[in-house]
Amino acid sequence: MQRHYQFAGFMGKRVHLGVTGSIAAYKALDLLRALIRADLQVSATLTPGAEEFVRGLAFEALGASPVYGPMFDARAESPFGHLEPGQLADAMVIAPASATTMARLAFGLGDDMLACQALAFPGPKIIAPAMNPKMWEAPATRRNWEMLGEMGYTRVGPDSGHVACGDTGSGRFAQVDEILLAVLKAISPQDMAGRKVVVTLGPTRESWDAVRFWSNPSSGTMGACLAVAAYLRGADVHAVAGPCGLTFPAGIRVTNVNSAREMYEAASEAWPDADIGCCSAAVADYRPVPFGDQKFKKTGTDGLTVQFETNPDILKSLGKVKKAGQMLLGFAAETANVEAEAARKLEAKNLDMIAANDVSSDGSGFGTATNRMLVLHRSGRKEHWPLLSKTEVAWRLWDHLLLD
Ligand code: C5P
């Protein structure tokens, strides 16, 4: 799983996982592990069909508790297992969902434990189908899928491609990451709903000749964590991403760019319409004056002198045209005088908040999964945070900015 999808901190929340009879049932174990990694408590129900592919014991062993047995089970701890998820869980996810279970849910049948639990579940429900493409395209399945959408289910997938039986088409189980994010979104506060957020992230690449460029080792993780956190909290997110190879949830608009000037163009175009701007990209301050379209050939041993010209400061230019009501968050990666430099940039770039870190300290900065931040707000608020995962830093930065 990609780092910017590894959100923790959902402590105290509970999710009920329903698994049905599909060859993809084993992938529900990955989903379970991802949910548990997010600090969630997870209970599970396997239909009899699911039990043909993977046993409830495996879910128990990986931390699901309880794993419900069938209806009318004399050994069950409570006669009300069919009602418990509705009383206890914050969201229910049925993954993978077979055509039969989709039909049960669409028509409100209560003829197995999972179907009864879904009927008695008042909270958000997420469904991710998996089946053969012909079964997926069958008119009955299409109708049931539409009905589930109308009933308020969040529908994830299915993907297209090769399926287990050798056919190709639509019906593949969605990526576990996509399903996880749909669950996390369903249980996240929607306190950024209605806000448009632009995030720059990753490095830039400044071409010099046909094969060489000037860049830096930014992984884009911090910005991606901010983009995904805002998305989970309901914001309309536009990520302007330098070349970092990250993928984003389908609900995030992504503009891929290479150079600082391309990033500047994309960010400047998006900014007038945005409520919040966040520049976390590691933009190259200078670009080499291009050698040309050809590959540079070695010419002796006297070294090489390359001229550089100045790139636009994207954040500063957004700050210059910031309107009342817009908020701008910047970053400062420093190796000395962290606080003084952060305070200077807060002012010079007309920011509302700046998150600074000492990139020479252990565990903080480029390519790490963690950051130790000093956060300055234009109101004078100042916070020192301990070493935290970037996903947690992202969540806290939005909290802090929204306090305003
Ligand atoms: O001045 P400095 O480069 O340290 O400022 C860092 C902040 O400015 C970061 O938020 C970075 O994304 C942004 N920046 C930018 N365009 C540049 C240089 C930095 O948006 N050319």
Q: What is the pLDDT of residue 390?
A: 93
Assess whether 235 and 182 both reside in one domain: no
Distance (angstroms) between ligand 1 centre and the Cα of 13 equals: 37
Assess whether 145 and 202 both reside in one domain: no
For the chain, the average pLDDT equals 94
Mean pLDDT along residues 99-126: 97
Assess whether 18 and 121 both reside in one domain: yes
CB 37 within 8 A of CB 10: no
- Ligand 1 atom nearest residue 284's Cα: 21
Does residue 357 have its Cβ closer than 6 Å to ligand 1?
no
What Å distances lie between residue 191 and 58, 223, 251, 329, 398, CA to CA? 37, 19, 17, 18, 10
Assess whether 288 and 391 both reside in one domain: yes
Does residue 10 have its Cβ closer than 6 Å to ligand 1?
no
The count of domains in the chain is: 2
Q: What is the pLDDT of residue 75?
A: 78
Does residue 172 have its Cβ closer than 6 Å to ligand 1?
no
Of 165, 187, 209, the residue at which a domain comes to its end is: 187
Assess whether 170 and 27 both reside in one domain: yes
Q: What is the pLDDT of residue 312?
A: 97
Assess whether 175 and 210 both reside in one domain: no
pLDDT at 165 over 90: no
Domain holding 134, by residue range, is 3-187
Of 187, 207, 224, the residue at which a domain comes to its end is: 187
Q: What is the pLDDT of residue 81?
A: 86
- Ligand 1 atom nearest residue 315's Cα: 20
The 10s digit of each residue's pLDDT in 171-188 is: 999 999 999 999 999 999
Of 187, 214, 238, the residue at which a domain comes to its end is: 187
SS (H, E, C) the chain: CCHHHCCCCCCCCEEEEEECCCHHHHHHHHHHHHHHHCCCEEEEEECHHHHCCCCHHHHHHCCCCCEECCCCCCCCCCCCCCCHHHHHCCEEEEEEECHHHHHHHHHCCCCCHHHHHHHCCCCCEEEEECCCHHHHHCHHHHHHHHHHHHCCCEECCCEEEECCCCCEEEEECCCHHHHHHHHHHHHCCCCCCCCEEEEEECECCEECCCCCEECCCCCCHHHHHHHHHHHHCCCEEEEEECCCCCCCCCCCEEEECCCHHHHHHHHHHHHHHCCEEEECCECCCEEECCCCCCCCCCCCCCCCCCCEEECCCHHHHHHHCCCCCCEEEEEEEECCCHHHHHHHHHHHCCCCEEEEEECCCCCCCCCCCEECCEEEECCCCEEECCCEEHHHHHHHHHHHHHCC
Assess whether 230 and 183 both reside in one domain: no
Q: What is the CATH number of the domain that holds 318?
A: 3.40.50.10300
Does residue 311 have its Cβ closer than 6 Å to ligand 1?
yes
Assess whether 182 and 268 both reside in one domain: no
Mean pLDDT along residues 84-110: 97
Best of 314, 350, 375 to mutate for ligand 1, by most ligand atoms within 8 A of CB? 314
Mean pLDDT along residues 251-280: 98
Distance (angstroms) between ligand 1 centre and the Cα of 315 equals: 6
Distance (angstroms) between ligand 1 centre and the Cα of 353 equals: 13
pLDDT at 365 over 80: no
Q: What is the pLDDT of residue 11?
A: 83
Does residue 314 have its Cβ closer than 6 Å to ligand 1?
yes
The 10s digit of each residue's pLDDT in 300-356 is: 778 899 999 999 999 999 999 999 999 999 999 888 899 999 999 999 999 999 999
Mean pLDDT along residues 67-82: 84
- Ligand 1 atom nearest residue 200's Cα: 12
Q: Is 165 a catalytic residue?
A: yes
- Ligand 1 atom nearest residue 341's Cα: 4
Does residue 345 have its Cβ closer than 6 Å to ligand 1?
yes
Q: What is the CATH number of the domain that holds 100?
A: 3.40.50.1950
pLDDT band at 127 (very low <50, low <70, confident <90, very high): very high
Assess whether 171 and 255 both reside in one domain: no
pLDDT band at 381 (very low <50, low <70, confident <90, very high): very high
Best of 276, 283, 344 to mutate for ligand 1, by most ligand atoms within 8 A of CB? 283
Nearest C-alpha neighbor of 340 from the set 369, 374, 314, 301: 374
Assess whether 176 and 233 both reside in one domain: no
Assess whether 224 and 176 both reside in one domain: no
pLDDT at 1 over 90: no
Q: What is the pLDDT of residue 70?
A: 85
Distance (angstroms) between ligand 1 centre and the Cα of 166 equals: 50
Q: What is the pLDDT of residue 360?
A: 78
The 10s digit of each residue's pLDDT in 28-64 is: 999 999 999 999 999 999 999 999 999 999 999 999 9
pLDDT band at 368 (very low <50, low <70, confident <90, very high): confident
Assess whether 137 and 203 both reside in one domain: no
Q: Which residue has the higher pLDDT, 77 or 117?
A: 117
